[in-house]
Structure 1
Amino acid sequence: MINLKTQYAGLTLQSPIIVSSSGLTNNAERNKEFEKAGAGAIVLKSLFEEQMEMQSDAMLQESDYPEAADYIRGYIKANHVENYLELIRKSKELCTIPIIASINCYRADTWIEFAKQLQDAGADAIELNVFFLETDIHHSCEDLYRLYTQILKKVKQVVTIPVIIKLGKYISNMPALVNQLKANGADGVVLFNRFYQPDIDLNTMQLVSGNVFSSHADLSDTIRWTAIVSGKIPNISIASSTGVHDWEDVVKCLLAGASAVEMCSAIYTHGAEIISQITTCVEEWMHQAHYESLDQFIGKLNYANIPNPALYERSQFMKYFSNRD
């Protein structure tokens, strides 16, 4: 009997496939469809700190009463948060799988007051997406690490549910940061967040949005860092994300050391049915490989478990292409 159960950040998932935070998960009825298709958990669409600030600023520009600034900002934030709390409540009412709240923030104090409300509304865990693109030439890596740990510690002080940190891959020493997060109470990490992709329109000479979806080509970095982090820092849950499009990608991430995978682009493209297709194929692969549970092969090919772990650290093409003209 094939068992797809997995332990992720203190949560028991019926399958390793998590529907990632996106517009897909902004509807409780649709979240129920993902559960029916075989999803192990759902991360709700994020509350965005910057988005609320932009909306507040737009309303302030239209207002003739500058002294109302604090009221307007408070009203905008409270309205967004209440709508989000209702999404949590409704999703928990309809679904039996874990519902994970998601917050996209970049300051230590902004969301602390609401973290407890997310827990009280029924969220089974909180995923904190803290990364922002640092362009200050005087900024140091230590400053970024400090920001992560400050937010993590303050949220952990007010909630008892698991807290997961979603990371971007543009970090100089990923294992060091994850180790620091683990030491400060992180229950899991997601590798990686996918950011806005800029492009240039040569006809209009303007900056435009590039492809919003990931591709199979994005999976290599996800596998590399999942394997390295899981091998160097045991006992912290990892969800692989970005570039996961089919059942083979799922199995590769599990072999590299992930406890679960987050999927978004493939579900946008193929619909909820891709989840059931992937779980069926993973079960068939496990049957043919004589595995009965995920625990039997999770991390089997991570940094700590292969004869030559330096393969994951290789960054140059020379040894592969030195014979080519």
Structure 2
Amino acid sequence: MVDISTEYLGLELRSPLVASSSGLTANLDDLKKFEASGVGAVVLKSIFEEEIIRNTQDAIGKMAASRFIYPETMEYFEYDYDEIQDPLGDYLKLIRDAKKTLSIPIIASVNCVSPDGWMDFAERIEHAGADAIELNVFVLPSDFTRTCEENESVYFDVVTKILKKITIPVSIKIGYYSAALGMMIQLLSETGIKGITLFNRTYNPDFDIDTLEFTTSNVLSTPGDLSTSLRWVAIMSNRVKCDIAASTGVHDGAAMVKQLLAGAKVVDVASAFYLHGIDYAEVMLADLKTWMQENSYGSLKEFRGKMSRDKTYNPAAFERVQFMKYFKDR
């Protein structure tokens, strides 16, 4: 038997496979299926900063126009009042129900672009029983009036404020757009957060050339998307003061093994579950165990990071960005 348990964000996980934030982690029935399939933790579908702010403002307006006239009515999240559409209350209820039903860690997720207007809801997430919270932050550097320093300060402002608000572990999920990505990841790891996820998957716009209407493209990742996160997990392993989670492009057990060899503590998966079903987690974990047995590894720590930049026989492989070796004879 091999031991595939691990520790992530200070939490004990029975396996390194984490169900990433997606529509599949938005209801209790699917969360139960994920637990039955062997995942180590689940990250709930993200609730957006704009959604939190909008619904809070809308609810205050409705309460002011109704019989809710006292300051105590800010507790409306807990009130069963049909006229108030309450996605925030639903989110908190999902956390409470999941904690009552499941034994694996429940990680809440907030998609945010600023440190303002939603921090109080993070406290409510903690009070509802979430084991940790993942902040999904991505600032596209497309505003020509903002410097790279101003763009990247958003990440640090969000982290600084959230760490003052809650006591449960905080992780941050970021993108790879940065003029000094390695340094930014390293500095983020020194803020007091417990984990960094590399990388988030963004909305990719497309448009129809006949109707000239916008569409979405490449909603799901492909196995080819693995390389970017694999490179940076390997480069940053042993260079940060928090856990690293690998995300995007992990579609089978072999890809999960690669990310663990690169140095990831856990591996986040979503697209593979959309394509193959939630119980595909069992296949991925079985492949991990088989590989460990075939290579005589008894636990994850025996091989984690073995192919990271600092430990591999060829560290330059992760830092070379040209194809000279492969195309010089063609």
Q: 1:167 to 1:96 in 2, by over 3 A?
A: same
Aligned residue for 1:102?
109
Aligned residue for 1:91?
98
Asked if the contact 2:52/2:88 (under 8 Å) is kept, the reply is no
- CA apart distance, 1:308: 2.6
Distance in 2 of aligned mates of 1:276 and 1:49 = 34
1:285 corresponds to which of 288, 291, 295: 291
2:268 corresponds to which of 262, 266, 280: 262
Alignment of 1:1-325 (within 5 A): 1-51=1-51, 79-233=86-240, 235-324=241-330
Distance in 2 of aligned mates of 1:159 and 1:106 = 18
Query: What letter matches 2:232 in structure 1?
Result: W
Asked if the contact 1:231/1:305 (under 8 Å) is kept, the reply is no
- CA apart distance, 1:272: 1.2
Asked if the contact 2:141/2:148 (under 8 Å) is kept, the reply is no
SS for the counterpart of 1:232 is coil
- CA apart distance, 1:52: 5.3
Asked if the contact 1:3/1:294 (under 8 Å) is kept, the reply is yes
Q: Deviations over 1:95-148 (max 9, x none)?
A: 100000000011112221111111110100000012132311131222123211
Backbone CA RMSD of aligned residues: 2.3
Asked if the contact 2:230/2:259 (under 8 Å) is kept, the reply is yes
- CA apart distance, 1:53: 6.0
Distance in 1 of aligned mates of 2:139 and 2:47 = 15
Query: What letter matches 1:208 in structure 2?
Result: T
Q: Deviations over 1:254-304 (max 9, x none)?
A: 000001000000001111111001111110110000001000011011011
Distance in 2 of aligned mates of 1:300 and 1:237 = 16
Distance in 1 of aligned mates of 2:90 and 2:48 = 13
Distance in 2 of aligned mates of 1:205 and 1:214 = 25
Query: What letter matches 1:306 in structure 2?
Result: T
Distance in 2 of aligned mates of 1:212 and 1:53 = 26
Stretches of structure 2 lacking an aligned partner (at least 5 in a row): 60-64, 66-73, 78-83
- Give the total of aligned pairs: 312
Query: What letter matches 1:21 in structure 2?
Result: S
Distance in 1 of aligned mates of 2:176 and 2:315 = 20
Bigger mean CA deviation after superposition, 300-309 or 138-147: 138-147
Asked if the contact 1:175/1:232 (under 8 Å) is kept, the reply is no
**TM-score normalised over the length of structure 2:** 0.89
SS for the counterpart of 1:298 is coil
Aligned residue for 1:62?
none
Distance in 2 of aligned mates of 1:57 and 1:198 = 30
Q: 1:55 to 1:116 in 2, by over 3 A?
A: closer
Q: 1:178 to 1:146 in 2, by over 3 A?
A: same
Distance in 2 of aligned mates of 1:117 and 1:194 = 26
Q: 1:83 to 1:262 in 2, by over 3 A?
A: same
Aligned residue for 1:71?
none
- CA apart distance, 1:318: 2.3
SS for the counterpart of 1:164 is strand
Distance in 2 of aligned mates of 1:16 and 1:171 = 28
Asked if the contact 1:29/1:94 (under 8 Å) is kept, the reply is no
- CA apart distance, 1:161: 1.0
Distance in 2 of aligned mates of 1:307 and 1:197 = 37
Stretches of structure 1 lacking an aligned partner (at least 5 in a row): 60-64, 66-73
What percentage of residue pairs aligned between the two structures are identical? 44
Distance in 2 of aligned mates of 1:36 and 1:28 = 12
